[in-house]
A = this chain, B = another copy of it.
Amino acid sequence: MFFSSDNAGPVHPQIMERIVADNAGHQMPYGNDTIMPEVRDRLREIFEAPEAAVYLVATGTAANVLALACYTQPWQTIFCSKVAHVQMDECNAPEFYTGAAKLTLIETDSKMDPSKLEAAIKGQKPGNVHGAQPGPVSITQVTERGSVYSLEELRALTAVAKAHDLPVHMDGARFANALVALDCTPAEMTWKSGVDVVSFGGTKNGCMGVEAVIFFDPAKAWEFELRRKRGAHLFSKHRYLSSQMAGYLANDLWLTMARRANDNAARLADGLRKAGATFLHEPQANMIFASWPRAVHRKLHEAGARYYLSGGTLDGPDAEPIGARLVCDWSVQAEDVDAFLSHF
């Protein structure tokens, strides 16, 4: 009953086997291994983007901040949601990597609203030397609150960005979960909807530690390579990043795992709903924000369930509802879900 995060799960055996298979003999370092071209070609194919520049790094924060840094001047501000990972969970890495740019926060507890984005951009008064200049818009898909932007919602946001000539970054740490939820193509969810660069997550969805950064305009390629090296994120034994990503993409494993994670989250949400839990938002992918009486949390914790509480602790009146964040990774089984629900 492990629902604390999708970064707590194991590596899928297909990926591990690929790593073991790629371990034989010598390979040139720093991205010059023989596997990377295969990975690059496959991602270009998946994204219907034959010119895209494709790179691998080992952490989601590295993917986000290196991608953003290529589109942000130090005197600019990045527009993102108030609960964005880049704001809440990266310990000033975006500021560090952009050379001290600012983040302007859009008020929301889930998705950004295009009109609030518009107001925030106008509020920066571009051309006024005293304030930060408008920079990129960063959108997280799946959001940090488990919701998923529809293609229409995405396009409404990117339209605002484009109207102000601002680039768009997508934090796709849970890209596959969103894609499966929307049942659309990777191209539709990115460049066809106005996204310029995407952090394409692997780590949370069954890899060991690998994320792709995909620039639909390859003009940023060399700058990215320099920024990656300067950030100490260029792996010498790069083959092990390539190998993970190759294993992840083979046989649509990435989609299969995401689908399973989403399905189990849906099963869990159904059970919670029937048990009377209330939801912050309707869960759309593999993350659930819900609340139910403290007494049940106590029972679950005693039974060994792992997840994060919010807005309260186990101490207090039995009946008071306390929030929970529940995340299903690919390795969670229907039985785990049912075991969890049996405590309600």
Q: Give A contacts to B, CB under 8 Å.
A: 2, 4-5, 7-11, 16, 19-20, 23-30, 58-62, 65-66, 73-77, 88-93, 95-103, 129-133, 203-204, 208-209, 225-227, 229-237, 240, 306, 329, 331
**How many chain copies?**
4
* Interface pairs (30), CB distance under 8 Å: A7-B29, A7-B237, A8-B27, A8-B28, A9-B26, A10-B25, A16-B19, A16-B20, A16-B23, A20-B20, A30-B129, A62-B232, A62-B233, A66-B232, A74-B92, A74-B96, A88-B131, A90-B130, A90-B230, A91-B229, A92-B101, A92-B102, A93-B229, A93-B230, A95-B102, A97-B232, A129-B225, A133-B226, A208-B237, A209-B236
A226-B93 contact in complex given A8-B26, A209-B235, A233-B232, C-beta closer than 8 Å: no
Q: Are B7 and A236 in contact (CB under 8 A)?
A: yes
The CA of A129 and the CA of B55, in the complex, are separated in Å by 14
The CA of A19 and the CA of B250, in the complex, are separated in Å by 21
The CA of A103 and the CA of B101, in the complex, are separated in Å by 11
Q: Are A231 and B92 in contact (CB under 8 A)?
A: no
CB of A165, distance to nearest CB on chain B (Å): 14
Q: Are A91 and B130 in contact (CB under 8 A)?
A: yes
Q: Are A91 and B62 in contact (CB under 8 A)?
A: no
